[in-house]
Amino acid sequence: MRATVLAAVSLAALAAAGPAHAASLNLLIWESYIDEQILADWAAETGIEVRQTFYDSGDARDEILADPNSNVDVVVTNENGAKLYGNRGVIMALDAENVPALKDYAQDWSKRCGGYGVPYLWGTMGILYRSDKITTPPTSWADIMRPAESLRGHIAMYDDHNEAFVGPLVLLGKSVNANDNETLKAAYELMKAQAPFVLTYDYVITSIQSADKGPNIHMALGYSGDQYTLNDKVSSPGLWRYVVPKEGTLSWLDCISVSARSNNKDLALKLVDYISNAKNGARNAVKLNMPTASTAALALLPEDMRSNPEIYAAPEILAKSQLQEELTVQSVQARRRIISSLAQNQ
């Protein structure tokens, strides 16, 4: 799978870089997931360069983060990852003492990072679609899981053991955190029937940049905010759009954390605080067209952004959204086998 290849490449890059010294910090993050100007301003103010290593799935990120030889200083992970790796001693405990910006985050948000990260950005999962190819917006998970014949070979899914199962599980009326074999088998049957319509199981932000695949993707599984990145990648504002299916979805939160293995923990803590403060939290949200969890940063956003339902999901959507919970080891293994078999046979 691409995730495995990417993880191997990223691990090699981080190892080759060697431990970060005072002149640099290593940031493990999704591609196009931070305002580059914030990092440029940090470097100008501190003299410390931030070197980014990209991952394109949670599984790839976790493989890098779990490797004791990877030289990660700061990482953006999901809320479950923050708690899991915090409890394992892989990332540091954070509070308002070592990251003062945390005072700007409501407890309901900060506790979701388990005390091991600062809430970074949040959103939902849904369906991305090209408005020039699909003129009637999708409304249901059935539109991507049981697609129309015209979409054969035009769908991008996602080889991640959590997110890949959101659509089929919600469509089946089940929890996105289902662990039992019967439910996972039912989800697999849906995914197997969909497979002939899938062009790629690479994350759409990655696959859209492929010369042979990108132009042929008409619909994709993705995160709220991805439509803006896709439109930027193809230089066509408004082309890609995003909807949350009527059955409900996953409401996710990413956290920004400091590696307990970092050789520059003090600097890494300062970088997390710099990225998370009100001014830069607002800048980042505006640049990425994504919602911030910082109360202070939210107050700095323009009203048209705060009222945009594509950015801040409507209450009725959030009411039907589920939060991610830690899965059993057996469930993770089963899910990975399923998505791996689909991706390898594609």
What does the pLDDT read at residue 22? 57
Answer yes or no: do 80 and 178 share one domain: no
Do 65 and 55 share a structural domain?
yes
Here the tokens at position 249 are 């979805």
In a domain? residue 317: no
Q: Are residues 147 and 59 in the same domain?
A: no
pLDDT of residue 307: 92
Q: Do 210 and 268 sit in the same domain of this protein?
A: no
- Count how many Cα atoms sit within 13 Å of the Cα of residue 213 in the half-sphere of its side chain: 18
Residue 95, domain CATH: 3.40.190.10
Q: Which residues pair with 156 in a beta bridge?
A: 200, 220
Instruction: Write down the pLDDT at residue 15.
Output: 47
pLDDT for residue 310: 83
- Regarding whether 43 and 190 lie in a shared domain, the answer is no
- 107 and 135 belong to one structural domain: no
Please indicate, yes or no, whether residues 188 and 330 belong to a single structural domain of this protein: yes
Question: Are 258 and 244 contained in the same domain?
Answer: no
Closest CA to 89 of 58, 110, 66, 118: 66
Query: Tell me, what's the pLDDT at 289?
Result: 93
Taking 50 as the pLDDT cut, the residues of the chain under it are 1-13, 15-21
Q: What is the pLDDT of residue 121?
A: 97
First-residue to last-residue Cα distance in the chain: 10
pLDDT at residue number 23: 81
pTM (predicted TM-score): 0.88
User: Per-residue b/e over 189-202, b at no fewer than 16 CB within 10 Å?
Assistant: ebbeebbebbbbbb
pLDDT of 91 reads 97
Task: Please report whether residue 185 resides in a domain.
Answer: yes
CA pair distance 225, 310, nearest whole angstrom: 8
**Residue 192 belongs to some domain of the structure:** yes
Q: Are residues 200 and 87 in the same domain?
A: no
Domains: count for the chain: 2
- The whole domain housing 137 covers 123-250+322-344
Q: Is residue 262 part of a domain?
A: yes
The reported pLDDT for the residue numbered 274 is: 98
Residues 6+ apart with CB under 8 A from 50: 24, 25, 26, 27, 39, 42, 43, 74, 271
Could you tell me if 256 and 237 lie in one domain?
A: no
Does residue 169 belong to any structural domain of this protein? yes
Q: For residue 229, is it within any domain?
A: yes
178 and 35 in a common domain: no
CB 223 within 8 A of CB 125: yes
224 & 139 share domain: yes
Whether 335 and 58 have beta carbons less than 8 Å apart is answered as: no
